Amino acid sequence: MTTREIKKNIHWVGVVDWNIRDFHGYSTYKGTTYNSFLVMDEKIALVDTVKKPFKQELIDHIRELTDPEKIDYIIVNHVEMDHSGSLPDMIDLIKPEKIFCSPMGHKALLSHFHREDWPYEIVKSGDSISLGKKTVHFLETKMLHWPDSMFSYIPEDKLLISSDAFGQHWSTSERFDDEVDKPELMAHASKYYANILMIFSPNVRKLLEKVAEMGLEIDMIAPDHGLIWRENVGEILESYGRWARQEAKQKAVIVYDTMWKSTETMAKAIYKGLLEEGISIKMMDLKTNHRSDIVNEILDTKAVLFGSPTLNNGMLPSMADLLTYLKGLRPTGKIGAAFGSFGWSGEAVKHINGFMEKMKFDILDPGIKVKNVPIAEDLQKCVELGTKIGQAIKG
Ligand code: FEO
């Protein structure tokens, strides 16, 4: 069997995408999964589908358990194509009695598939349906991470099916959190949060408060990507709280690109100043680190130092890429500084400062510019910048 029973009569029927390496700008260098769940009761419900190229695998998985034609309901927790790409074909095959979706999900389904004739049943927060012995309660989770997103909660099984929230992009043959290496699992979960949910941190905070108020009993969280949480439910909820508050460690990220090593030499001098203050530091060269891994390191860091030489009156394209991506994710509460070498004009530091102002970074220093190749005096200023930032991190 390729499928897996996750609770009595509730089965994982999703697919593993071992080969995806880019998820619109996010480096999925260990692949991902598209999780789909079959709830078997007097009524049979399929919760979410999979990306279109994997449609046949989904059908084969369902056939391990039942004829697809016997499915009564399809629940669409989220309309993004990685979960709905195969929906039209599945609807043609299943001919469901009802398709449950949120109000915004209804609009999104219409604008994606242009099918007025599907048997939509719009559900809001607080609505529930009975499948027989099991019930499914719906909770709209607008902007986590799309307007249409919602959770499905099955109280009889204490199971929260959480759409994209609590996911990880990691392809594995294992299905549960306690079957894989935990530090690696948490690293994937953190990267997923940083790249997909950081922008919506205020919504995550409100949602966690609401779930606590509702007193939902949850002993399993099944997201639409990656491993299912059963051993570490408390820890992933606690981690989401910490990430949503953007709590920072005494840590700095030095991210830079360099042409002829001058900016890199400056980065190493800044590193020295920070190190002497006892700060934990990540040095990340943009040539060898993907933007999505850098953003993951920035999630829990207090300070970011951005280094770029000047090219054509601006910064290097790699730094512009990172700053554009990072600004969209709205990190909060960071200290920042810029540095870089230049040949004759030296605008890179000014442009980086402009990005940091828009991101509301606390810019503690106007930044350091060095003409061509740094001398000992320049490098001493870089060490002092590291010291200054290190002291600010420690408060
Ligand atoms: Fe996994 Fe927002 O789709």
- Average confidence (pLDDT) over 283-307: 98
pLDDT for 80-120, tens place per residue?
Answer: 999 999 999 999 999 999 999 999 999 999 999 999 999 99
Q: Whose CA is nearest to atom 3 of ligand 1?
A: 80
78 lines ligand 1 (CB under 6 A): yes
225 lines ligand 1 (CB under 6 A): yes
Q: Whose CA is nearest to atom 2 of ligand 1?
A: 80
pLDDT of residue 40: 98
pLDDT of residue 164: 98
How much is the mean pLDDT over the chain? 98
pLDDT of residue 26: 97
Q: Are 223 and 162 in contact (CB under 8 A)?
A: yes
| Residue 24 annotated in active site | yes
pTM value is: 0.97
| Residue 82 annotated in active site | yes
C-alpha 83 to ligand 1 mean position (Å): 7
Closest C-alpha among 48, 50, 47 to residue 32: 50
Q: How confident is the model at residue 291 (pLDDT cuts 50, 70, 90)?
A: very high
pLDDT of residue 62: 98
DSSP H helical ranges for the chain: 55-63, 81-84, 87-94, 103-113, 182-192, 201-214, 233-244, 262-276, 291-299, 317-329, 348-358, 376-394
Atom of ligand 1 nearest to the CA of 167: 1
pLDDT of residue 9: 98
Q: Whose CA is nearest to atom 1 of ligand 1?
A: 164
48 lines ligand 1 (CB under 6 A): no
pLDDT for 172-228, tens place per residue?
Answer: 999 999 999 999 999 999 999 999 999 999 999 999 999 999 999 999 999 999 999
pLDDT for 233-284, tens place per residue?
Answer: 999 999 999 999 999 999 999 999 999 999 999 999 999 999 999 999 999 9
| Residue 112 annotated in active site | no
pLDDT of residue 301: 98
pLDDT for 12-55, tens place per residue?
Answer: 999 999 999 999 999 999 999 999 999 999 999 999 999 999 99
Ordered by where they begin, the domains of the chain are 4-244 (3.60.15.10), 252-394 (3.40.50.360)
Q: Are 41 and 65 in contact (CB under 8 A)?
A: no
| Residue 137 annotated in active site | no
Of the residues 5, 80, 121, 347, only one is catalytic, namely 80
- Average confidence (pLDDT) over 144-150: 96
164 lines ligand 1 (CB under 6 A): yes
